[in-house]
Amino acid sequence: MVRPGGRSARVQEAVHTAVRELDAEVGRSALTVPLVAARAGVTPSTVYRRWGDLQELLSDVAVEHLRPDTPPEDHGSLAADLQHWAEQFLEETASPAGRSYVRDALLGDPDGDNAGRCSAYAAEQLQVVLDRAAQRGEAAPDVETLLDRIVAPMMYRILFRPDGLEPPYAQRLVREALDAPAARQVSRRP
């Protein structure tokens, strides 16, 4: 039985807030469940029972951070929309904070739920861009292709080689994704 707005929701909110505040104040390495619980005005056992351990809690908080708060901006063309979206994505996600959110989201995620959610966020944003392109009558690849060509390379480098990730890299990925042969229209789920 779900009870949104009730005590459970207040506790969740308080705990998430405590994590964000303490992360900023004392840093990730000093975060502990008892510390978070104390700040949230809650018993440690409550946190353990609801989240299991600190990593799963951090994963939940990270996914909230990574959720886009606005739809992608409209710049009049598919190419421009993708350029801006990719640059913004890279800027946010390649930052030390962004990178640690991605890692947290992946880390405390036994069932892969949160990881899937992160990918879904990107896919939703891209779909908005593609829908606008379709309304304009522009030819466009599909979402899966853009994930492979734009999101995956950025994420791979963010996770495995977080050096030298600058806007031109995002621009080049977008350009090459759009330059590719137009056969990219058909569905290409793996």
By CB under 8 A, name the binding residues for a second copy.
103, 106-107, 112, 115-116, 118-119, 147-149, 151-153, 155-157, 159-162, 164-166, 168-169, 172-173, 176, 179-181, 188-190
By C-alpha distance, which of 139, 147, 151 is closest to 179?
139
Minimum distance of a second copy from residue 165's CB (angstroms): 6
Near DNA by CB under 7 A: residue from 16, 17, 35, 153: 35
- Is the alpha carbon torsion for 31, 32, 34, 40 positive or negative? positive
Collapsing DSSP to helix, strand or coil, 85 comes out as: helix
By C-alpha distance, which of 95, 139, 144, 141 is closest to 122?
144
Which of a second copy, DNA, none does residue 162 bind (CB under 5 to 8 Å by kind)? Answer: a second copy
Which of DNA, a second copy, none does residue 50 bind (CB under 5 to 8 Å by kind)? Answer: DNA
Contact (Cβ atoms closer than 8 angstroms) between residue 72 and residue 84 = yes
189: CB partners within 8 A, 6+ apart? 144
- Give the integer Cα–Cα distance in Å for 57 and 105: 9
**If binding is defined by CB under 7 A, does position 110 make contact with DNA?**
no
Minimum distance of a second copy from residue 177's CB (angstroms): 10
Minimum distance of DNA from residue 167's CB (angstroms): 39
Which of a second copy, DNA, none does residue 137 bind (CB under 5 to 8 Å by kind)? Answer: none
**If binding is defined by CB under 7 A, does position 153 make contact with DNA?**
no
Minimum distance of a second copy from residue 95's CB (angstroms): 14
Number of residues located near DNA, criterion CB under 7 A: 25
* Closer to DNA by Cβ: residue 11 or 128: 11
The 8-class DSSP code of residue 148 comes to: I
If one counts every other C-beta atom within 10 angstroms of the C-beta of residue 5, the result is 8
If one counts every other C-beta atom within 10 angstroms of the C-beta of residue 82, the result is 27
Return the structure tokens found at 18.
């405590």
Binding site for DNA (CB under 7 A): 1, 3-8, 11-12, 32-35, 41-46, 48-50, 52-54
